[in-house]
């Protein structure tokens, strides 16, 4: 039994350019986007050489394929820079979690609320969990009212993304920030730069007080001379 092994060829994500375009004709697009029309691939290659550009197949599935005259090296560089900038600006969604007890005292509540405010101000989502123990499980309204109170206290920074719901012994609510993470980071960066500029600025020097003794001494000397 003969078994033929077929070697898989790597599929290139790059478009075919210049001599790699193996079709009889292409729909040619000029370097500025102008429509040249359907031309033989030999003529398209000649035009590319005369303009010191590349012939790049931009729509291989079209009939005939669409090719464009361009500087392929510059095109690849600009595409790479755009992809890099896109990755740089991409922000991963982060969910912070805060746990509360249904009978939490005011001091602990204020502390927990401060954490929630800090997370939301940074553009993060917050999962708030009310933990019930023992007989507290029979009073779910306590947790519901607490979550409502928290949502009202931070309503300028957040919206309720997931309404309070029972999850076993716990009750869970998710708050989404009204400010996007990228915006929060930009504001924080501007704030830190402003603080750095203030620290780097020279302190104003105190003005040297002008003594009034010298004029008085001169006046005395004038009076003595007059005598």
Q: Long-range contacts for 210-216 (Cβ within 8 Å, ≥24 apart)?
A: none
pLDDT digit string (tens) for 147-189? 999 999 999 999 999 999 998 899 999 999 998 766 777 777 7
Quick one: DSSP state of residue 83? H
* Strands ordered across the beta sheet of 66-70: 35-40, 25-29, 66-70, 54-59
Can you tell me the mean pLDDT for 36-46? 94
CA distance 162 to 129: 12
**Higher local confidence (pLDDT), 198 or 4:** 198
Cis omega (within 30 of 0) for bond into 67: no
At 66, list the tokens. Answer: 């669409």
């Amino acid at each position: 039994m003969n078994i033929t092994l077929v070697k898989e060829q790597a599929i290139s994500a790059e478009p075919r350019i210049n001599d790699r375009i193996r079709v009889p004709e292409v729909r040619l697009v000029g370097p500025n986007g102008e429509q040249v029309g359907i031309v033989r691939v030999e003529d398209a290659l000649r035009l590319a050489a005369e303009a010191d550009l590349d012939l790049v197949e931009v729509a291989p599935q079209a009939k005939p394929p669409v090719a464009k005259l361009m500087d392929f090296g510059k095109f690849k560089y600009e595409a790479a820079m755009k992809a890099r900038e896109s990755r740089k600006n991409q922000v991963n969604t982060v969910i912070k979690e805060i746990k509360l007890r249904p009978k939490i005292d005011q001091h602990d509540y204020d502390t927990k609320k401060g954490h929630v405010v800090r997370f939301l101000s940074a553009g993060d989502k917050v999962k708030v969990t009310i933990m019930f123990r023992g007989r507290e499980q029979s009073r779910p309204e306590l947790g519901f009212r607490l979550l409502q109170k928290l949502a009202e206290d931070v309503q300028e920074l957040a919206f309720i993304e997931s309404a309070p719901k029972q999850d076993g012994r716990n009750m869970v609510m998710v708050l989404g920030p009204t400010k996007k993470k990228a915006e929060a980071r930009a504001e924080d960066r501007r704030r830190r730069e402003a603080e750095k500029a203030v620290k780097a600025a020279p302190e104003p020097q105190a003005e040297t007080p002008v003594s009034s003794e010298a004029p008085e001494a001169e006046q005395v000397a004038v009076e003595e001379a007059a005598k």
